[in-house]
Structure 1
């Protein structure tokens, strides 16, 4: 830390003379010791590494084992189909990952290309990467800071630090400022400059105290490089589901082997049967389908003006219950705006200013003429505070260029940070107006009179007290207050020293970085949806609270915590208080990460929004990081999961709505696939337990799981969203994926399995001309009869699952209530699936590959009746559900 050391101590510690700078020999030694002044980047993953990373999933492991065993046993077609789905799933993941993780590269680009330094007594310009600790660095307006500096000399220096600290206005810097203590926030270290911040005014000289990864930006880079738990609730649940399914598959295989031994079956046949059951237990297409549904969700999100960089972020949005938001540029417009003005003992909104009122007009002219900034629709330069004053004039058709042509500037006293004043002399016909603006406390000391309602009167103690009270009121509302004063002199030949004396106070203006107009409604909608908004900003406490109060984030001053207070708390103490805090002010990047960790430790699903470099680590730490697309830095975008195209906080609400609907659709897809696979297990398990031949071949199950099931599953993934989805509270991330669907899943799985067995029995007995009820299944069934029975079972299993997809659209409303054709993709998927199924059994070479044959008209009547049973039974059940809930 160098901010709490004197200039002499820093010069001595870094062994450098401010007049001469470092020698060439010393520079080379320090380059060896400290390295280049640039940020390290993470070694990019190879294509092979990304491919293997995509295979690191228990579902994929089981599929690979199944494929290998199938290949060894000669079931080549099964092995090929499994291999194809594994490759497709990995390829989709690689395409997504290849676009991600550019945060550190963006940080490197922030390093400025050139720096002005003093070396061997000569001022020279060098690439900024060659700056070493101890270099004497010169900073002037418009130049980026090349590294962290301890200032040794300043002249009205102002630095734009919003991307690092969140400070909404440029910070005055003072080399001679003495700071004590170790816990001073970055924004208050007024004698320091930080890498990649921008000088907007004045000049300064500093000693390079930290370079490269040791700078504040470098610390952020290190935090971005830390590995964090980035798994979403759905990913965790699918991983857990994969483990359960894997264990279930192994248990089923063991049971079947035991049954085979007891029934004295052929062990090779039992091994094939066990593989069939294992395949039936695992929905092979699940991983790929969820990835594809999320990818389709990404396309929908783009229409909502949100670009999703990482697929799982779509699902995470649906479970968010806390939105942590930066203030500057996210909740606010990131531009200083004049909102209030005070003249004639009256404080008013700027919208009520009357340009025909001489007092009002003179106030505006003062603030525009006594101003060094420039502003037009296409460009703006200068201090944001001064730009705000010019914009106020533009709103009343008063333009600086036109006004300065009419009232030429004759003389001036530039702004100085110690005086906090600026003065110009402008010609008004045959007179000269001295225009002075600045901090109201300093300005009042120079004023002897005040302009009140067309009259110039002496400033009395009561008038002065009233003016200061109004100024304090504006300050309490987090407004930045500037006063304006003038006097008329007959000639431009005047001593500079006497310009700022005997002034007439015109009035004051209050300005602030105002909230976005639509944000208040969005925060209210979030609150009604069970989502809490927390403001985390580097700005001052009173400013943060004023904005929070206006946006209805909180009205309780005790719900605000500063960075200094945060430093004094242990992680456990913060965890105990975190639920009651809605605003964190004057915080550093490290604080933001600490806050996110505390919120996540309480089981919250946290979204963090921001735009600056200082937001990047917390964007990465959050369950979902949301960066601003327009004002956001490349660093923030690189660290985020999602980028808002329009920088609109309200877009987050739209994204959450979409995320909730997408999760619901994914849940429909998963429950549909598991219930269908359960049907396959029931059919196979019961048949083998009863000593029957297998009703299905492994290739039948793979075909249904990968082709027939996949189409309706994908169609369910794009089911129209629930219009009332934002009326519900966020789902508990600890809830089971099958909450509210378990009984339906089990019953429908059993129903599909029993219907498949019914088709198998009917097919076997009907083929042999057997019309008896008992025994259920012939003991000695011939190959052609078995093939016929398996064909009917294959068709019923496939088509009944296609029909069952209609039940999944809503667990209470009838398919006819929500509209049979309201999801045209699903209808198309069902029709296409039936056509594919018919092609399998009617096209000879396909029928041979699948060991099936075409069915008669009577067969089709039987399988059609059995396949429609899931829809009929579910519609009856839904009638009772609606009656009990009075829907």
Structure 2
């Protein structure tokens, strides 16, 4: 389309517009200073189409709704509904089907929200554009722009299309959303090298970026889907969302369980009819009872509740979860790929070093709050006692166009962040921050221009003496200076010293500014470039950086202890990225890889590098996406953080996409699974901890639920094998599963995180939901429950008890075993024989109390007796029920003690 504007060949490769001069582009696009003729613009509009991002094809609402039922969890619930319908328990059927519908509706709504990511990118295109056509200036709908149009840009404009700049006047463009560059980029009209990354193409302005200062004119070279924004939109459209590790595990678990239940039911039916000679009708009811006992009806509901509770706890920690499964997925993360600016750092430029002729000062404090001390040799000093330092700070405050404001207790900078850092330094040392102060009024100014690389202002002090202050690139300011200000006054300029200090400061990843002054008035009374040639006194070099958040440093250390690798991916330069990484203990002693280097690697090489290297700089959207996919190809579970539209494809592709809530674009938020309300990396670490706790609780529930189902199934199988009366009727099985199991199991969703949860290694991504230890525990407890229930059932029948009473005792024995086993299940290996273990979760105690009341009603309420065929029990019979429950509790605690003492926990991978 627009990228191929110079040729009629649709298969021609896109032009490298940034490598061409604007004169060459005028010739290629057949345009000039008068712009296109209206007729030609109309012809090109018909050829290339409107300058808007077309929405991708979407599934219709009905198909989207039907696809929500294609879920293994819902299959399990629907199978349970069929079983209850066969048994005639219509209330249970209605409840299960209602749960299925609710889950499907929630998924339908969430999918609709996910598609809003593409809408957010399309909304980034400017609605209007100022163009020159037929030599006349017009304001048109940006959708009508075509390649070859000449567009005018001014401060505050959204760039409406990809443009090659032709004339530039102090243009600075905020490209953070597209490239990740933390500072506005100074633009020129010059061409760039062919291999220049997107952030270094200074002669280009890209659609969706914001002009923060200056003016320019340029020629449209790409519109709609051929813009860099359009390419990101295409990438995002092509990415399929990733299923979380839990859903993949549950899917495998559900399939295996469904196959096992169907196989067991078929074998049992054939065994009973062909060998034992039972009628098909009787065996069908027995098989239905077996299936009812084996299907974990409560699993989908408990999963949803557990994840929802995790969502609530994360919200209290400023992590807003947009998609429910992401709660648990955070707990399985093995790698966090984090953006630098605003996430690991404050996105607030801060002066950290001031180099004067005789002293080097360090500056405390981070961010825009004017709070912090200046230090020399680790001692706090008063800036007023150091003339060169004091004058340098004053120069930085006065030769400045930014403003420092306090709003609702928060400090912010209006204007260039680097100039804001100088104002904050002035605030820390007590200098006025109000430009035009009566004691030092500004009488003239030379604005910063990229070709001159400095800014200058003319002032008079309280004694009416004239001063010219200048700030800019160190090499440019050095050329203007003939002296330096030392502690004892002016002295000859030591150029070697200043160059050495500039190199040393830059090596620490700090951006450099030089400050100088001249005690003289402009020659003609008005400040001009002729006044900037020589005679200046160098005051200081200032080192500025966007510092790491203190809490991010601690959070990265906690991630490392938890076995989670942290990788920093940024659009900034490699030197800055390495420095910040070192301060955060990310990639120490390792090289930083740039986007250009990544682009030269094939997928196999990138997979190797992705595991070894931790700092990636000058990364484009394609590089970030490839990096995430390379890590996933290495069987890593990846969380990706970001705030710009350039991060959206990687956010969507990652196992967990995390967007910034305060400074993030809508495109990033809509593509993400979770949004950080405080833009703080430490919040991600807290969310990982919460995710691990959620997964632990799900494992505890499954480990609690399966033995219950297994014990019931074993009771039914034993009755069929030995031609016994069924100890549990189908309706009684459903009572146990839907009432007691779910009631008790729900309490485990409220379990707090176990101590040391963040000292564990992440679980391997491919690990099955049921480990060997889990299978053993399920089998052991199932056998214990079967022994208790079936043993009491047979003992009662042998002593002449009625079938109804024996079944009532069997049901209560299973339920009593569940209640005691619920206490065992609070800790996988630790003993619960302590006040914390027995009473540490009040929801467990409430669930047991509720279950006791339900069982008393089941046993003694006349209405329940009529429905379930239960009978009253004597105190002796209740005592035997209690003994069956204690058997499970005691053996389970003994098993945990043996594992702890024999150090099997490490070998089993559960410690």
The equivalent residue for 2:519 is 488
Is 1:794 aligned with 2:822?
Answer: no
Contact 2:826 2:837 in 1 (8 A): no
Is 1:218 aligned with 2:246?
Answer: no
Distance change (3 Å), C-alpha of 1:66 and 1:519:
closer
Task: Map 1:290-439 to 2 at 5 A.
Answer: 290-350=303-363, 351-352=374-375, 354-356=382-384, 357-378=386-407, 380-401=413-434, 404-428=437-461, 429-439=463-473
**d(CA) in 1 for partners of 2:400, 2:753:** 53
**d(CA) in 1 for partners of 2:227, 2:472:** 34
Contact 2:645 2:665 in 1 (8 A): yes
**d(CA) in 1 for partners of 2:37, 2:807:** 89
Contact 1:431 1:491 in 2 (8 A): no
Q: Return the match for 1:457 from 482, 491, 510.
A: 491
Is 1:684 aligned with 2:705?
Answer: no
Q: CA deviation at 1:722?
A: 1.0
**Which region of structure 1 is more displaced relative to structure 2, 185-194 or 259-268?**
259-268
Secondary structure in 2 aligned to 1:819?
helix
Secondary structure in 2 aligned to 1:518?
helix
Contact 1:100 1:309 in 2 (8 A): no
Contact 2:354 2:541 in 1 (8 A): yes
Q: CA deviation at 1:493?
A: 3.5
The equivalent residue for 1:777 is none
The equivalent residue for 1:527 is 560
Distance change (3 Å), C-alpha of 1:823 and 1:96:
farther
Q: Return the match for 1:106 from 120, 126, 129.
A: 120
User: Could you state the TM-score of these two structures normalised by the residue count of structure 2?
Assistant: 0.91
Is 1:867 aligned with 2:885?
Answer: yes
Distance change (3 Å), C-alpha of 1:812 and 1:401:
closer
**d(CA) in 2 for partners of 1:147, 1:345:** 51
- Write out per-residue CA displacement over residues 529-574 of structure 1, whole angstroms, 9 at most, x where no aligned residue: 2111111111111111111112211232x43111111111100111
Which structure 1 segments of 5+ residues have no match?
770-784
Distance change (3 Å), C-alpha of 1:475 and 1:755:
same
Q: CA deviation at 1:873?
A: 2.2
Distance change (3 Å), C-alpha of 1:798 and 1:35:
farther
Q: CA deviation at 1:366?
A: 1.3
The equivalent residue for 1:52 is 66
**d(CA) in 2 for partners of 1:65, 1:875:** 35
**d(CA) in 2 for partners of 1:112, 1:137:** 12
Q: CA deviation at 1:523?
A: 1.5
The equivalent residue for 2:301 is 288
Contact 1:59 1:282 in 2 (8 A): no
Contact 1:345 1:467 in 2 (8 A): no
Contact 1:280 1:677 in 2 (8 A): yes
Contact 1:66 1:275 in 2 (8 A): no
Q: CA deviation at 1:139?
A: 0.8
**d(CA) in 2 for partners of 1:65, 1:412:** 79
**d(CA) in 1 for partners of 2:524, 2:430:** 32
Secondary structure in 2 aligned to 1:597?
helix
**Which region of structure 1 is more displaced relative to structure 2, 736-745 or 484-493?**
484-493
The equivalent residue for 1:506 is 539
Q: Return the match for 1:4 from 10, 13, 19.
A: 19
**Which region of structure 1 is more displaced relative to structure 2, 671-680 or 340-349?**
340-349
The equivalent residue for 1:479 is 510
Distance change (3 Å), C-alpha of 1:110 and 1:397:
farther
Contact 1:78 1:699 in 2 (8 A): no
**d(CA) in 1 for partners of 2:99, 2:737:** 11
The equivalent residue for 1:773 is none
Q: CA deviation at 1:49?
A: 4.5
Q: CA deviation at 1:48?
A: 4.9
Q: CA deviation at 1:838?
A: 2.3
Q: CA deviation at 1:884?
A: 3.8
Is 1:549 aligned with 2:561?
Answer: no
Secondary structure in 1 aligned to 2:571?
coil
- Write out per-residue CA displacement over residues 457-511 of structure 1, whole angstroms, 9 at most, x where no aligned residue: 232xxx1011111111111212111111111225774473431122111122111
**d(CA) in 2 for partners of 1:328, 1:708:** 51
Secondary structure in 1 aligned to 2:467?
strand
**d(CA) in 2 for partners of 1:696, 1:86:** 27
**d(CA) in 2 for partners of 1:89, 1:80:** 14
Secondary structure in 1 aligned to 2:254?
helix
Distance change (3 Å), C-alpha of 1:45 and 1:304:
farther
Is 1:742 aligned with 2:772?
Answer: no
Q: Return the match for 1:579 from 611, 631, 640.
A: 611
Is 1:469 aligned with 2:500?
Answer: yes
The equivalent residue for 2:839 is 821
- Write out per-residue CA displacement over residues 573-609 of structure 1, whole angstroms, 9 at most, x where no aligned residue: 1112222211111110100011111111111111111
**Which region of structure 1 is more displaced relative to structure 2, 692-701 or 714-723?**
692-701
**d(CA) in 2 for partners of 1:77, 1:859:** 31
How many residues in Structure 1 have an aligned counterpart in Structure 2? 864
Q: Return the match for 1:835 from 849, 853, 862.
A: 853
**Which region of structure 1 is more displaced relative to structure 2, 138-147 or 45-54?**
45-54
Q: CA deviation at 1:707?
A: 2.0
Stretches of 4+ moved more than 4 A in 1? 42-51, 72-78, 91-101
Distance change (3 Å), C-alpha of 1:465 and 1:398:
same
Q: Return the match for 2:33 from 4, 12, 18.
A: 18
**d(CA) in 1 for partners of 2:310, 2:742:** 17
Contact 1:333 1:515 in 2 (8 A): yes
Task: Map 1:120-269 to 2 at 5 A.
Answer: 120-175=134-189, 177-181=190-194, 183-261=195-273, 262-269=275-282
Contact 1:112 1:196 in 2 (8 A): yes
- Write out per-residue CA displacement over residues 156-206 of structure 1, whole angstroms, 9 at most, x where no aligned residue: 21111122111122211111x12242x321001111111121112221111
Is 1:752 aligned with 2:785?
Answer: yes
Q: Return the match for 1:559 from 579, 582, 591.
A: 591
Q: CA deviation at 1:66?
A: 5.2
Secondary structure in 1 aligned to 2:733?
helix
Contact 2:175 2:184 in 1 (8 A): yes
Distance change (3 Å), C-alpha of 1:137 and 1:316:
same
**d(CA) in 2 for partners of 1:633, 1:88:** 31
Contact 2:173 2:212 in 1 (8 A): yes
Contact 1:529 1:729 in 2 (8 A): yes
Distance change (3 Å), C-alpha of 1:46 and 1:671:
farther
**d(CA) in 1 for partners of 2:100, 2:795:** 36
Is 1:635 aligned with 2:667?
Answer: yes
Contact 1:201 1:383 in 2 (8 A): no
**d(CA) in 2 for partners of 1:328, 1:790:** 66
Contact 1:160 1:197 in 2 (8 A): yes
Distance change (3 Å), C-alpha of 1:23 and 1:813:
same
Q: CA deviation at 1:375?
A: 2.4
Q: CA deviation at 1:663?
A: 0.9
Q: CA deviation at 1:390?
A: 1.6
Contact 1:146 1:196 in 2 (8 A): yes
Secondary structure in 2 aligned to 1:869?
helix
Contact 1:695 1:790 in 2 (8 A): yes
**d(CA) in 2 for partners of 1:342, 1:409:** 26
Contact 2:624 2:650 in 1 (8 A): yes
Distance change (3 Å), C-alpha of 1:88 and 1:269:
farther
Q: CA deviation at 1:847?
A: 2.7
Contact 1:336 1:512 in 2 (8 A): yes
Q: CA deviation at 1:882?
A: 4.4
- Write out per-residue CA displacement over residues 688-713 of structure 1, whole angstroms, 9 at most, x where no aligned residue: 11111222222222222222111221
**d(CA) in 2 for partners of 1:720, 1:221:** 41
**Which region of structure 1 is more displaced relative to structure 2, 38-47 or 157-166?**
38-47
